[in-house]
Structure 1
Amino acid sequence: MSNHTHHHHPPTYHNLTVSDGTTIAYTLAGNPSSPPLLLLHGFPSSSHQYRNLIPLLSPTHHIIAPSLPGFGLTSTPPHYPFTFATLTSTLNLFLTALHLSKYAVYIFDYGAPIALRLALQNPSALTAIISQNGNAYTQGFGHPFWDPIFATWSSGNSPATREALRAGAMTLSFTRLQYEAGVPASDLPLIDPVTYNLDYEQNIAPPERQEAQLDLLYDYRTNVDLYPEFHAYFRESQVPLLAIWGKGDPAFVPAGARAFGEDLKGAEIRFVDAGHFALETKGGEIAREVVGFLGRVGW
């Protein structure tokens, strides 16, 4: 008798070029006949942020973890517009090419509005949502973290505010801060410095990537414009949702997790003593919650 453990389906690494010219780098793991679970990363990382979570989820689920345009080893054609609408469109092409029409999704940071934009286009596609520090409510914005980003919004992306954001956010120290802020001091040694160094070298330091990141930070305002539609989707679908939140996150604060309960009566809301990249220090605890949640909702 064969024992279907994740040892039979280790992570494999792939590239797929879709019709808009983007070549998406992605990871697969788990049995392809298991329920699919899409992992969507955030700024300023890539699918690499899920390297430790994937082996914990692949025994029960078929994992698909792409790197979004502008991140990781995904490459974009010349003059690719770095907006959330375009990223969503590219991801839609990717999911279609993989024949992925129904799936659960683990959303974090930038992955959250992209998945919810997909849900607006096809509400029945998402069978369940795990939001780990993936915001969908204005009360989730942490201050002063978002202040320089909001300044680009209110100024219409003026050169002065864009350059101020570049100076403040496009640095190795700010990338490291996103990993370490809000993390108990005793847990800081759990964070591998390779993570934020890789994110910086790959996604922030290259000049063309830096412009893409600044474009996306400015365009994030268009996600906020869609919040009422996201909330209507929640109310109408009552999609099963687990919000599991690093409570020390300076970017997306606990109020953002609790807010899901306003529109989703069955939302499960949990907090872990961690920061934004909560998987770096609480990955085992989060994985157990995710597997339990997906089991309860039958996916």
Structure 2
Amino acid sequence: MENANDGKYVHINGNDIYYESYLHQQSAKETIILMHGFLSSSFSFRRLIPFLQKEYNVISIDLPPFGKSGKSRRYRYSFENLANTVIQLVESLHLTKITLLGHSMGGQIALNTANIRPDLVQGVILLCSSGYMKKSKPLLILASCLPQFHRFVKRRLERSGLENNLRFVVYNQSIIDKEMEEGYLAPFLKDDIFFALTKLIRDREGDLSKDILNELRVPCLLIWGEQDQVVPLEIGKQLHKDLKKSKLIVLKETGHLIPEERPEEVFHYIKEFITDKG
């Protein structure tokens, strides 16, 4: 039915971009672009991809500076530039009429992409998407210019602890195992990520405004965990209100990391969404 993961690197927009392609041998008409959340990578879709690849072509991108993508200190880590990087990758693969799927921060990248190139995007799927966040405070931006600030970022993440972070983002904590812990820890074993995160703090603009969201006319599917402690359901309800062509699905007894917790249910709603808009 489908090919296995084909992981590749490509130099685009001044950075090395890692992506995984799962191409359907029967020439599926739909291509879904997956974009992960903050401090995550394509690894977070490992339980959802097996369902998606049975029906669709799937491209999963490690958004820089995360996962296996480059950590260049010259790259601009704004959401707009990340969206432009996604667009350039999509164009380099000669893809048209794509469906974007973004989890958490990846949802905001998806919305930026749809705003910049509505002609390219035929649907957006938001899984517990970030929304309405403001730009970093001026004092934090100023502090990030200090030579050793990356050490502060590293210590801050180390103090919070991987296991505590995973317990915070899932409702069903029994799914946390060694494979999951190692998969989310792997990208943070080298210090280059912390230099790049420091620049991201400076570069990140605020999320798309209500006025811009009101103007988006691409169909959107919002799927939320009722017990999401990272991006509360109220954000999802507000996004649903501001995105005029949207539908909101709420999953009970589910936290923030819904591609891990509810992959089969998420796939069911995605398939329904794609079929309806098609």
Q: What TM-score, normalized to structure 2? A: 0.85
Q: 2:245 & 2:214 partners in 1: Cα distance?
A: 15
Give runs of aligned pairs for residues 168-187 of structure 1, distance below 5 A. 169-171=156-158, 173-181=160-168, 183-184=170-171, 187=172
Change (3 A) 1:219 1:229: farther
1:159 aligns with 2:143: yes
**Alignment of structure 1 residues 1-299 onto 2, 5 Å:** 8-31=1-24, 32-77=27-72, 79-137=74-132, 153-159=137-143, 166=153, 169-171=156-158, 173-181=160-168, 183-184=170-171, 187-202=172-187, 204-220=188-204, 222-224=205-207, 226-228=208-210, 230-234=212-216, 237=217, 239-272=218-251, 273-298=253-278
Take 1:81 and 1:182, find their aligned partners in 2: how far apart are those partners? Answer: 28
Instruction: Tell me, in whole angstroms, the C-alpha distance in 1 between the residues paired with 2:153 and 2:12.
Output: 32
Q: How far 1:54 sits from its partner (Å)? A: 0.8
User: Secondary structure of 1:271's partner?
Assistant: strand
Alignment RMSD:
2.8
Select between 166-175 and 108-117 the one with higher mean Cα deviation: 166-175
Q: Do the aligned partners of residues 218 and 22 (structure 1) sit closer, same or farther apart at CA in structure 2, a change above 3 Å counting?
A: closer
Separation of aligned partners in 2, 1:40 and 1:131:
10
Whole-Å separation in 1 of the counterparts to 2:141 and 2:116: 28
How far has the Cα of 1:156 moved from its partner? 4.4
User: Could you tell me whether the CA contact under 8 Å between 2:222 and 2:240 is conserved in 1?
Assistant: no
Distance 1:194 1:158, change over 3 A: farther
Contact 1:30 1:61 in 2 (8 A): yes
Q: Distance in 1 between matches of 2:76 and 2:95?
A: 25
Q: CA deviation at 1:195?
A: 2.7
Matched letter for residue 256 of structure 2: H
SS at match of 1:128: strand
Output the CA distance in 2 between the equivalents of 1:34 and 1:175.
39
Q: What is the letter of the counterpart of residue 227 of structure 1?
A: S
* Structure 2 unaligned spans of 5+: none
SS state of the match for residue 81, structure 1? coil
Is the partner of 1:123 in helix, strand or coil? coil
- Identical pairs, percent: 22
Q: Give the Å deviation of 1:98.
A: 0.5
Q: 1:41 to 1:26 in 2, by over 3 A?
A: same
SS in 2 for 1:248: coil
Cα 1:164/1:115, change in 2 over 3 Å:
same
Give the deviation of 1:120 after TM superposition.
Answer: 2.1
> Which secondary structure state, in structure 1, belongs to the residue aligned with residue 164 of structure 2?
helix
Contact 1:178–1:277 (Cα < 8 Å) also in 2: no
The answer (yes or no) to whether the contact 1:247–1:271 under 8 Å persists in 2 is yes
| Count of aligned positions | 272
Cα 1:51–1:172 change in 2 (3 A) is: farther
Query: Could you say which residue in structure 2 is the equivalent of 1:4?
Result: none
Report if aligned partners of 2:45, 2:260 keep a CA contact under 8 Å in 1. no
Provide TM-score, normalisation by structure 1: 0.80
Instruction: Provide the secondary structure at the position in 2 that maps to 1:223.
Output: coil
Report if aligned partners of 1:30, 1:59 keep a CA contact under 8 Å in 2. Answer: no
Letter in 2 for 1:197: E
CA deviation after TM superposition for structure 1 residue 117, in Å: 1.9
Which residue identity does 1:99 align to in structure 2?
A: H
